[in-house]
Structure 1
Amino acid sequence: MNHLAQYVDAIQQMSIKQSSKIIKRESKQVVEQESDTEVLFSTELYYFVDGAVIEKNIEQDQINIQIEACLESWIQYKVIQQPDADKISPLKIEFNSHCRESHWVKYFK
């Protein structure tokens, strides 16, 4: 059984360098005005060499802050398609910040 954290780690590494585990990435972003704040909605699909497809959704306020902070955001990873060989577990995970997401990946890595 494969842990979802392995796939999330590959997705995070892709932003640093090209990952050999990911063969395709599709993304869509929308910015909406809610009250006095702009909110970014992002959906990305990642297609892996082993046949897995993982969806990543992010909802985050667009706030200009000068310091590094662990801003509140809604992040969700969901298994859309299982790989041919092993199953992925858990099938879905949600975080309320990028800090929690990073900690979870490091814990299960």
Structure 2
Amino acid sequence: MVQSLALYPYIQAMVTASDTTIAATVPQIIKQCCHGEQISDDWSVLERIERTVVFADGAIIRQVTEVETETDGAAADNICGDDWISYQVLQQPPQANITPLQKQFTNRCQQAFWLKIQVAQQES
């Protein structure tokens, strides 16, 4: 029988990988690789980072983050600036299906809020 798993614990593990207080409650990361690039013009710098994470249960998730920073510093005071963050399940764990297969956010605040809602729904 195939078990259904939620995507949010994997995203939470990726977001909080350095937080040892949360690490016990989320899937364990065993390997990750990351590469990025920067593209700039006269007005801004676009940084694109792609991170692929392998979890102990066999799941593989890709995170792509794109952040555009204006070179004149005008957007520096924007707490929830426009970022593009996406997650995609590249490989399912054996005998399990992670859903949804993809999730996208327009900024880190939206991502943090979504994670809080997911955790609250699981606790109730």
TM-score normalised according to structure 2 size? 0.79
Bigger-Rg structure (1/2): 2
Cross-structure match for 1:80: 90
Cross-structure match for 1:13: 16
- Give the aligned length: 108
Match of 2:79 among 66, 69, 84: 69
Establish whether residue 4 from structure 1 lines up as the match of residue 4 from structure 2: no
Amino acid paired to 1:56: Q
Once residues 37 and 50 of structure 1 are traced to their aligned partners in structure 2, the CA distance between those partners, rounded to angstroms, is 40
Once residues 15 and 91 of structure 1 are traced to their aligned partners in structure 2, the CA distance between those partners, rounded to angstroms, is 24
Q: Which has the higher contact order (CA 8 A, sep 6+)?
A: 1
- Call closer, same or farther: CA 1:10–1:28 in 2, change over 3 Å: same
Report percent identity of matched pairs: 26
When the two chains are superposed, the root-mean-square deviation of aligned CA atoms in Å is: 1.9
1:25-64 alignment, distance < 5 Å? 25-63=32-70, 64=73
| Unaligned runs of at least 5 residues, structure 1 | none
Amino acid paired to 2:45: E
